[in-house]
């Protein structure tokens, strides 16, 4: 093993020992939680609850669990953010690139007795007393699985399903998975994951009215071939009316519809979250560093999947985005590792 791998293993062992002896554990996902953040938190939470600890899982916003992920919470561990203790005994932040991504719960990092950070973002800023951060793995779920292994916790179907949900979504259906992630997937399926209904519910199910709305969004999608140092930018805008009317499962799927544009290295979706406020999702194909571009715009993420939130008109936000897709962020094709959240 390399020195880096040794150090990660030591970090995992230390955190596993801390969690194994904790009586009360609060696991947090990032704001607007996805399957990797909630699946990792719930997998660890289920195991800790079964060991006898008091456990809760939460996130600052929105105030409801994403509908498609609710079945992951078999023990009812998810609680509203206002039920998170003011001074948690042990806090675990999952899939969280920076403290700010905890939203209104960010302050718990300083009041907790200990904070374990488990994350795979290239842009991770590092916080907490215990850090398990590895930007080379495809999903935080991979690291959560290693913590469970170090704790000696057996995989059951409920835990395996939570981990699989994170793995399959962050690899966009295993498109970007390496051999170790495929081996983990086999282990999880052997533990009892019912793959087809799980993936259909999370990635492939939308209300009928969505398709007409999506057609409108796609009809207004625009291509800017000169942007991103001539590699091309395709962009779509989702107005607040649609963000409010549909679930995150619909809105966050728009990027997957346009990222296949042959003429564009970069795809961006501007989701309106306030009168002048936009949450922007970006995807690339390996030739430009979106994590660096997103950090320059106040956000974060991975090389090929990143995001930021910004104020302005759509044209102003797009101008900011174009100015961040600079030639120095372009390089030869890089193998895609993490490509999701």
Q: Which residues bind ligand AMP (CB under 6 A)?
A: 97, 101, 121, 252, 255, 281, 299-302, 305-309, 341
> Site mask, Mn ion, residues 157-196, x = CB under 5 A?
-------------x--------------------------
Q: What residue is closest to ligand AMP based on CB?
A: 307
Which CB sits closer to ligand AMP, 125 or 187? 125
In degrees and rounded to multiples of 5, residue 59 shows phi and psi of: -160, 155
Minimum distance from CB of 339 to ligand AMP (Å)?
9
Contacting range for Mn ion; rule: CB under 5 A; set: 16-24, 71-79, 129-137, 140-148: 140-148
Sheet holding 24-29, edge to edge: 54-58, 24-29, 90-94, 114-119, 130-133
At 261 the three-state DSSP class reads coil
Q: What residue is closest to Mn ion based on CB?
A: 341
CB under 8 A, 24+ apart: contacts of 198-202: 198/161, 198/164, 198/165, 198/168, 199/168, 199/173, 201/68, 201/71, 202/35, 202/68, 202/69, 202/165, 202/168, 202/169, 202/249
* From Mn ion, ligand AMP, none, interface partner of 170 (C-beta below 5 to 8 A by class): Mn ion
* Residue 103 burial (10 A CB sphere; 0-12, 13-18, 19+): middle
* From Mn ion, ligand AMP, none, interface partner of 232 (C-beta below 5 to 8 A by class): none
The answer to whether the beta carbons of residues 288 and 228 sit under 8 Å apart is: yes
CA distances from 143 to 24, 44, 139, 249 (A): 21, 11, 7, 24
Minimum distance from CB of 275 to ligand AMP (Å)?
18
* From ligand AMP, Mn ion, none, interface partner of 299 (C-beta below 5 to 8 A by class): ligand AMP
* From Mn ion, ligand AMP, none, interface partner of 97 (C-beta below 5 to 8 A by class): ligand AMP
Alpha-carbon span 255 to 259, nearest angstrom: 6
Residue 95 binds Mn ion, judged by CB under 5 A: yes
Contacting range for Mn ion; rule: CB under 5 A; set: 27-35, 101-109, 232-240, 328-336: 27-35
Using CB under 5 A, list all residues that contact Mn ion: 34, 36-37, 95, 140, 170, 341
């Amino acid at each position: 093993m390399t020195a880096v791998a040794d150090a990660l293993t030591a970090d995992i062992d230390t955190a596993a020992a801390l969690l194994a002896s904790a009586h009360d554990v609060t696991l947090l996902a990032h704001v607007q939680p996805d399957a990797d953040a909630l699946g990792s938190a719930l997998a660890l939470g289920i195991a800790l609850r079964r060991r006898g600890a008091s456990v809760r899982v939460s996130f600052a916003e929105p105030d409801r669990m994403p509908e498609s992920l609710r079945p992951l919470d078999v023990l009812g561990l998810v609680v509203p953010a206002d039920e998170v203790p003011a001074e948690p005994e042990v806090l675990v932040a999952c899939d969280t690139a920076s403290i700010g991504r905890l939203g209104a719960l960010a302050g718990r990092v300083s009041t907790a007795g200990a904070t374990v950070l488990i994350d795979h973002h290239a842009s991770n800023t590092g916080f907490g007393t215990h850090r398990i951060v590895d930007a080379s793995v495809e999903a935080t779920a991979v690291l959560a699985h290693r913590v469970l292994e170090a704790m000696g916790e057996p995989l059951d179907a409920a835990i395996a399903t939570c981990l699989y949900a994170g793995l399959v979504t962050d690899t966009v259906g295993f498109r970007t998975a390496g051999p170790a992630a495929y081996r983990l997937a086999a282990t999880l399926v052997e533990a009892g994951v019912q793959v087809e209904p799980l993936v259909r519910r999370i990635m492939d199910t939308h209300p009928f009215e969505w398709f007409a709305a999506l057609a409108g969004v796609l009809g207004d999608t625009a291509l800017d071939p000169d942007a991103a140092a001539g590699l091309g930018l395709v962009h779509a805008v989702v107005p607040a009316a649609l963000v409010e009317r549909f679930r995150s499962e619909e809105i966050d799927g728009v990027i997957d519809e346009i990222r296949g544009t042959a003429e564009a290295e970069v795809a961006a979706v501007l989701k309106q979250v306030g009168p002048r406020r936009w949450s922007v999702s970006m995807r690339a194909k390996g030739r430009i560093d979106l994590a660096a571009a997103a950090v320059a715009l106040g956000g974060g993420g991975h090389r090929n999947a990143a995001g930021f939130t910004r104020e302005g008109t759509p044209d102003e936000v797009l101008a900011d985005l174009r100015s961040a897709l600079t030639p120095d962020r372009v390089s030869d094709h890089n193998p895609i590792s993490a490509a999701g959240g």
